[in-house]
C-alpha cells in the first residue's frame, strides 16, 4: 500500500506525522496520525492505538490528548486513526452520530454503509500491517485505548482479539450500546435488525461472555453529560460479576471533554507501557 506523507513535525525528540493511504478495506483514502519516539530511530517500539469518539477525525486526540511527551518518555509509538471513511461517494447521515465521523468500529453489512464502513477490518488488520511495513513499530507489542465511541471500539476489539493486544484501557466508553440510544441506532443501521449480530460489539456483553485475560483500566467522569447514554454501570457490574482483573475508576467532577482525557492520559500511557515494554 502506497503511503503519502502529509506532514511531519519534530515533537519531544520524536516525530509527529500525518499520513494518507488508499485503503482496501474502506475503498477510500484514509488519513491517520502517528507519533514515533526518538527510540524508534534505533529499534522497533511498542505501539498504542488511540481510537477517537463521535465526530472526531485523526486530528482531535493528536492535538488535544497531550500524549506525545508521555509516549516519548516511555519509548512507545501512538497512532491516531480516523473514525470513519470519508469522501464524496461515502454514505452519510444528517445526524452527527451516524455516518461520517461515526463508524463505530464495525464492519457494516447493510446498505448504504456496507461498501465503505469496514472500520473493524481497517483497524484490526489493514492499518497495523501498513504500520509494520512502513515504520519501526513492533506488532507483537500493541496496546489499545480510546474515548467514548473509541473506548467502545478499544474494549470490544481487545476482548475479541486478546492475542493481538497485550493491554487495553478506555476513557468514558460507550459501555452497553445494545441497550443505549448511542448504539441501537448505529448497530441497527450498520448491522441490520438481527440484534444477535450486535452482541459482538457490546463490551458489557463481551465482558459477561469472555472477559479479557489481562487487566483492564477504565476511567469515567462522574459529571459526564452523557452518562445515561454511556451506561458505565452496566460494564462495571459485568466486571464485578466476572471478577475481571483491573480498575474501573469513577472520577469525581470530570465531564466528557478532552480536559478529562488529558488529566488521566499519563495514567493510561503508563498502564500500557508497563504491559508492553
Full pLDDT tens readout for the chain, 277 residues: 689 999 999 999 999 999 999 999 999 999 999 999 999 999 999 999 999 999 999 999 999 999 999 999 999 999 999 999 999 999 999 999 999 999 999 999 999 999 999 999 999 999 999 999 999 999 999 999 999 999 999 999 999 999 999 999 999 999 999 999 999 999 999 999 999 999 999 999 999 999 999 999 999 999 999 999 999 999 999 999 999 999 999 999 999 999 999 999 999 999 999 999 9
Name the pTM for this structure.
Answer: 0.98
Active site residue 201: no
- Through-space distance between the first and last CA atoms of the chain, rounded to whole angstroms: 29
**Out of 147, 201, 256, 272, which one is annotated catalytic?**
256
Per-residue pLDDT, 2 = 86
Which residues does 150 contact at the CB level (< 8 Å), separation at least 6? 50, 51, 52, 53, 56, 83, 105, 170, 173
SS3 at position 102: strand
Give the pairing of strands 3-11 and 14-22.
Answer: antiparallel
The predicted-structure confidence for 32-65, as pLDDT tens digits, reads as follows: 999 999 999 999 999 999 999 999 999 999 999 9
Per-residue pLDDT, 10 = 98
Integer Cα distance of 218 and 1 in angstroms: 35
Dihedral angle over CA of 223, 229, 234, 239, nearest 10: -70
**Out of 23, 52, 148, 169, which one is annotated catalytic?**
148
Domains with residue ranges and CATH for the chain: 3-276 (3.40.50.1820)
**Out of 224, 234, 268, 272, which one is annotated catalytic?**
224
Active site residue 2: no
The predicted-structure confidence for 90-132, as pLDDT tens digits, reads as follows: 999 999 999 999 999 999 999 999 999 999 999 999 999 999 9
Residue 143 near residue 49 (C-beta atoms within 8 A): yes
Per-residue pLDDT, 220 = 98
Per-residue pLDDT, 124 = 98
Q: What is the DSSP string of 225-238?
A: TTHHHH-HHHHHHH
Per-residue pLDDT, 43 = 97
φ, ψ at 253 (rounded to 5°): 85, -10
Active site residue 148: yes
Integer Cα distance of 169 and 272 in angstroms: 8
Amino acid at each position: 500500500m502506497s503511503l503519502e506523507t502529509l506532514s511531519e513535525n519534530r515533537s519531544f525528540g520524536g516525530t509527529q506525522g500525518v499520513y494518507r493511504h488508499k485503503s482496501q478495506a474502506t475503498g477510500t483514502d484514509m488519513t491517520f496520525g502517528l507519533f514515533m519516539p526518538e527510540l524508534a530511530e534505533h529499534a522497533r517500539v511498542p505501539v498504542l492505538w488511540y481510537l477517537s469518539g463521535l465526530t472526531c477525525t485523526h486530528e482531535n486526540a493528536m492535538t488535544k490528548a497531550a500524549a506525545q511527551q508521555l509516549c516519548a518518555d516511555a519509548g512507545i509509538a501512538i497512532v491516531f486513526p480516523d473514525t470513519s471513511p470519508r469522501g464524496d461517494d461515502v454514505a452519510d447521515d444528517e445526524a452527527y452520530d451516524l455516518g461520517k465521523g461515526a463508524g463505530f468500529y464495525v464492519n457494516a453489512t447493510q446498505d448504504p454503509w456496507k461498501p465503505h464502513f469496514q472500520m473493524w477490518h481497517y483497524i484490526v488488520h489493514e492499518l497495523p500491517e501498513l504500520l509494520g511495513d512502513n515504520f519501526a513499530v513492533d506488532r507483537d507489542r500493541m496496546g489499545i485505548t480510546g474515548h467514548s465511541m473509541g473506548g467502545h471500539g478499544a474494549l470490544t476489539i481487545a476482548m475479541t482479539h486478546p492475542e493481538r493486544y497485550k493491554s487495553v484501557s478506555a476513557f468514558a466508553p460507550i459501555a452497553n450500546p445494545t441497550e443505549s440510544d448511542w448504539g441501537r441506532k448505529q448497530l441497527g443501521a450498520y448491522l441490520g435488525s438481527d440484534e444477535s449480530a450486535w452482541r459482538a460489539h457490546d463490551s458489557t456483553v463481551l465482558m459477561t461472555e469472555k472477559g479479557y485475560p489481562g487487566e483492564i483500566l477504565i476511567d469515567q467522569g462522574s459529571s459526564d453529560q452523557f452518562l445515561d447514554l454511556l451506561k458505565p454501570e452496566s460494564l462495571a457490574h459485568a466486571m464485578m460479576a466476572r471478577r475481571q482483573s483491573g480498575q474501573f475508576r469513577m472520577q469525581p467532577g470530570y465531564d466528557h471533554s478532552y480536559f478529562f482525557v488529558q488529566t488521566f492520559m499519563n495514567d493510561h500511557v503508563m498502564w500500557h507501557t508497563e504491559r508492553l515494554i
